[in-house]
Structure 1
Amino acid sequence: MPRTQFVVAPPAGSELRQVSGPATNSISQLLRQRRDPVRAAREDEAAYGPVYALNMFGTRWIIAGGPDAAQQVLMSKDRVFANGPAWQPLNGPFFDRGLLMLDFEEHRAHRSIMQQAFGRPALTSYLTDLHAIVERHLGEWSEGSLAQGDPALMHRRLERLTLDVALEVFMGARLPREESARISKAVMETLAGGGAMVRAAIPGNRWWRGLRGRRIVEAFLMDRIPAAREQQGSDLLSMLCHATDEDGARFDDRDVVNHMIFLLAAAHDTTTGTLTNMVYNMAKYPDWQKRARVRSLEMPHELGYDELAELTELEWILKETTRLCTPIQIEPRVAVADTEVCGYFIPEGSVVVVPTLVNHQRPEIWSHPEEFDPERFGDERAEHKQHRMAWAPFGGGPHKCIGQHFAGLEIKMVLHQLLRSFEWEVPQDYIMPLDMSATPIPKDSLPVTLRRR
C-alpha cells in the first residue's frame, strides 16, 4: 500500500468524506504526472478514490476526476470556484488580466464584449482571408525539397501558417518574414513561460524568456492600437477596439492588449498543436487520411461556413485527436468558500483540478479508450454524448474557450486544402515524441514524407 497523507478532513459532524492522497514529494509527483498522466491518475484513483489530493510545491491540489465532478466544478453555478486565482501562479505574469484571469461579473462583462468578434457574422467575415493565407502557405511549400525526399517538419510549417493567420486575421497585419518570426518567437516564449520549473526570472531561463516575450508582444500591439481605433476594420484587433457592451462601455488600450496577448498565444499554440496531431494521426492511420480526402475532393476548393460543417470525417478526426491529446490537459479552479465535490469536503482556498485528459480516457465512457477510433463520434455510437462533460477539450461553463468555433474553422480549412494538394506518411513504427511541459508539442517537429498530389 502507498503511504497515505490525509490532507483534508471535513468539519466535525459533517457527512462529507475526507480527501486523502499520496505523500510523494513535489518534484517526483510532477515528473510522474508529466511522464504518463493517465497512468498516474488511474493509480491514484484506485488507491484514494475519484477525488484525491496531491502536494504540488507546497500547494494542495485536489484532483476531481470524472465528468460529474467536471460539471460541478466548471459550471460552478453557485460561483464557488474561481478561475483567475488558480491560473495566476501558473502563468499569471504572462497573461495578466486576460480573459483566463477574470471571474464572475467582470469576466461576464469582458466576455460579452469579446463575443462580438467570435459570433457567426464575424467568423464568416474571416473566411476569405483565412482561405487566402492557407492557399499561400501551401503554395510556398517547396517542390524542390519535396522532390529530393527531404522530410517535412510539419509542426514548424504549421506553426508559421497559424501565426500568419493570427496576425492577419486577428490584426490585419501581414509582416515581413523576419518580423513575423520575431513575434512568433515572442508569443511562444510567453506561452512556454508557464511551464517553467524555476519560477523566477533568472537571465536566460524559461520564466525570464516568457516575461521578455510578453514585453515584446505588448509593444507590438500598442504600436498598432491607434490605427485600429481610428478606423473600423474586419480584423479582431479592430473589433476589440470598437466593440461595446450594452451600456456603451469599451475596452481601454490595456484591456485590448491583455486580451489580444492571450488570444494570440491560445490561437497560435493550441491550434498548431491540434493540427500537428491530426496530421500525425492521418499519417499513422492512412485509411482515415484517404477517407477524409475523398470527402474533401467532393467539396469545392474554397468552402463557406456551412460547407466546412459538412467535412464529417475531419470533424470526427478532430474530436478523436483532441480526446487523445487534449491541448489543455487540466482545468484548475480555486474554491472561494467551503464547499463539496461529489460528496468530498473542499475547504476554502483549495486548488481543485479537473483532469480533462484523464477524463477523455475513462473506460466507463469510452470503448477501448487508448485506441484511435474517430467513428466513436458518429451518430450510431456517439460515445461523447453519454455525459455533457465526457468530451471537453475546450473546457466548460463560463470559461469555455471563446475561440473554439474559430479554431474549428481554421483547422478544417487548413486540412481540407492540405488533403486536396498533398499526401503524407510516417514509418509505421514511428511514435511522435511529445513535450508535455505546457501544451503538447512534438519534440522532433513531426518529420513526414510529404508528396504533392
Structure 2
Amino acid sequence: MATRTLVRQLQSTIYRAEQMTPVRPLAMPPPGSGLKPVFGNPGLPVIGHTVTVLTDLLEASRRRYAEFGPVSWGVMLGAKTVTVIGPDALEALATNRDKAFGNEGFYDYLIGPFFRRGILLLDFDEHLHHRRIMQRAFTRDRLIGYLDVMTPAIERALAQWRPIDRFPVYTAAKRLTLDLATEVFVGERPGAEADQLSRAFVAAVHGGHALVRADVPGGTWARGLRARRFLENYFRERIPIKRAGSGQDLFSVLCRAQSDDGDSYSDEDIVNHMIFALMAAHDTSTITLAMTAHYLGKHPEWQDRVREESLALGEPAIEYGDLERLPALDMVVKESMRINAPVGGLFRETVKDTEILGHYIPAGTKVAGQVYATQRMPEWWSNPDVFDPERFAEHRREDKSHRYAWAPFGGGAHKCIGMHFGVMEVKAILHQLLLRYRWKVSPDYEPPMRYGTGPMPTDGLPINLTRIR
C-alpha cells in the first residue's frame, strides 16, 4: 500500500510538471475554413506526456478530456500527437471517409522495425488487396479447424498449472497463448524449435516497447532487431515446404491462399504477415484471458455462473457451435475487454489536411484514438469503473448506445481480421479452466499496470488457484 501511494504521488508530481508548459494551438486552421484549432501543451522536454500515459493511461486521458475536451494534443514518445476521446471521435478516425488517416505512418513509428508491412501497417488499396487474401485464413471452416488443433493443446497446458496461493495467471496465460499461436499458426508442436521461435518472437515484441529506440548493443531495441532477422529467416526457409504441403495451420494457409481474382502473397508478404499475426494473436489474447480470470476471481458469483454453463456442456472439448451456448461467459469476456481494452488505441497519421469533430489537423500529424478511455466514459456507461457483465445483457445492451462506445477490435477497413479467432481462443481456454480449477482474488487487490499498445500487469497477476479435478 505504501509503495502504491508513493507511485501515485510521483505520478501526480510528473503530471503537474507536464502541465507547467503553456497551452497553445497545434496549428491554426486555414482562414475561412470554420474549423477550430486543437489545443494542448507539449509536456516535459523531449518525452512530453509519455510517462503519465505509460503509467496511468486512464487518469491521464480523463484529465485531458476534462481540460481540453475530446480533441487535444501533446508530445508522446517524442512526437506531437493529437489525442481523441469518445465514440464520435473514434468513428471519425476508424471510418476515415475522406481517406485522410493512414495507419502506416504511426504504426511504423511505433513498431515498424519489428513488424513492418504487417496487415495493420498497410493502407488503402494495398491494405484491401492483402486483406482479401488473408480473409481466406479466417473463414468459419478454418476457425473450426484451428479449434480442433487448439483443444488438446489447451488440455495439455492447463494440466501443468500448479495450484498455489499466488499463481501468476498473466505469466501462465502468456506462455499458453504463445504456445497455441506457435502450434495453430505455425504448425510447430512444443519442443526446442518452438521454444527458439517463441523466444525470438518475445524479443521482437519487447523491442517495440523499448523507450530507448536506438540500436545500442545489448539493448532491448537491438535484441528486437536481431529477433526480427531470425524470424524472417525462419519463415522464409519454410515457405516452399508449406506451399507444397497440405497443412492447415495459418502459415500453410497463407502460403496457398488466393483471392477471388486469383491473387496470392509473395514470399516477402508471407514472412511479414506471419510475424505480425503472431504478435497480434498473442498479445491481445493474453491480456483478455488473464484479466477475465482476474475478474472471475474477484467476483465468485460470476465464476460460479459461467462454470455452470461449462458444466452443462459436459466435455472439456468444446465445439465451435457450443460457443453460442455460453451467454454468461460471452458477457464476462466483453466486460473484461471493456474495462481493459486489449488494444488501447487506434493509431493513425494524417496523409492530408483534415478535421475531427470540427478541429483542424494538418497533414503529417500523428493521431491516437483512445479506445481504453472511451470504454470507461460515464457519458456512455453506467458506473464505468465497476465490473458489471450484465450491461451486455439483451435487456440493457449499453454497448449499443453508440457503435463505437465498445470498440476493442477497432472499426472500419482495419477492424481486427482475427477477432473471431481471438474470442474463440479465450473462451475455449476459459471453458477448460473453469472445469479444472477454481480460483480467488482478494477483493482489495488492484493489479499494477503499465501501458504500451495495451495494458500489461507488472506483477504476473496472482490468483489463489485450487484444482477441482
Taking structure 2 as the reference length, the TM-score comes to: 0.92
Match 2:252 to one of 220, 223, 238: 238
Counterpart position of 1:5 = 24
- Alignment counterpart, residue 95 of structure 1, candidates 78, 93, 115: 115
Structure 1 residue aligned with 2:393: 378
**Partner residue, 2:9:** none
Q: Identify unmatched segments of 5+ residues in structure 1.
A: none
Are positions 1:350 and 2:365 aligned together? yes
1:19 has 2:34 as partner: no
Q: Distance in 1 between matches of 2:70 and 2:254?
A: 41
Look up the match of 1:448.
Answer: 463
Residue 298 of structure 1 and its aligned partner are, at CA, apart by 0.8
Could you tell me how far 1:347 is from its partner in structure 2? 1.2
Q: How far apart, in 1, do the equivalents of 2:76 and 2:293 lie?
A: 34
8 Å CA contact 2:56, 2:450 repeated in 1:
no
1:299-448 superposed matches below 5 A: 299-301=313-315, 302-448=317-463
Work out whether 1:164 is the aligned partner of 2:179. yes
Deviations 1:363-395 (A, max 9, x none): 110001111111111111111101111101111
Distance 2:459 2:76 in 1: 29
Task: Tell me by how many angstroms 1:438 deviates.
Answer: 4.4
Alpha-carbon separation, structure 2, partners of 1:240 and 1:23 = 44
Letter in 1 for 2:220: R
Corresponding residue for residue 6 of structure 2: none
Kindly indicate whether the alpha-carbon contact (under 8 Å) linking 2:150 and 2:184 is maintained by their aligned counterparts in 1. Answer: yes
How far 1:72 sits from its partner (Å)? 1.0
Between the aligned partners of 2:351 and 2:42, the Cα distance in structure 1 is 25
Q: Displacement, 1:57? A: 4.9
CA distance in 1, matches of 2:454, 2:337: 12
- Say whether the 8 Å CA contact 1:232–1:242 is kept in structure 2: no
Which one of the candidate residues 98, 105, 128 is aligned to 2:148? 128
Q: Following the alignment from structure 1 to structure 2, what is the Cα–Cα distance between the partners of residues 425 and 181?
A: 31
- Note the C-alpha offset of 1:427: 2.5
Tell me what 2:10 maps to. Answer: none
Preserved contact between residue 51 and residue 62 of structure 1 (Cα < 8 Å): yes
Q: Tell whether the 8 Å contact from 2:47 to 2:75 is kept in structure 1 after alignment.
A: no
* Deviation per residue, 1:83-126 (Å, 9 max, x gap): 11111111101111111111011100101000010011111122
Task: Tell me how far apart the structure 2 counterparts of residues 138 and 332 of structure 1 sit (CA, whole Å).
Answer: 35
Structure 1's consecutive aligned runs of 4 or more residues displaced over 4 angstroms after TM superposition are: none
Q: Are the equivalent residues in 2 in contact too, given 1:284–1:428 (CA < 8 A)?
A: yes
1:271 equivalent to 2:305? Answer no
- Counterpart in 1 of 2:4? none
Cα displacement (A) at 1:210:
1.4
Report the residue type matching 1:376 in the other structure: R
Determine whether 1:48 maps to 2:68.
Answer: yes
Q: 1:280-314, CA deviations, whole angstroms, 9 ceiling, x for partnerless residues?
A: 11111111111111111111312222211221111
Give 1:332 shift. Answer: 1.3
Q: 2: distance between equivalents of 1:387 and 1:153?
A: 36
Unaligned regions of 5+ residues in structure 2, if any? 1-18
Q: Which residue of 2 aligns with 1:180?
A: 194
**TM-score, length-normalised on structure 1?**
0.95
Alpha-carbon shift at residue 27 of structure 1 (Å): 2.5
Partner of 1:254: 268
Q: Is the 8 A contact 1:273 1:440 kept in 2?
A: yes
1:152-173 Cα distance to aligned partner (Å, 9 max, x none): 2222222222122111111222
CA distance in 2, matches of 1:118, 1:217: 23
2:391–2:398 CA contact under 8 A, matched in 1: yes
- Check conservation: 2:50, 2:75, Cα contact below 8 A: no
Superposed CA RMSD in Å reads 1.6
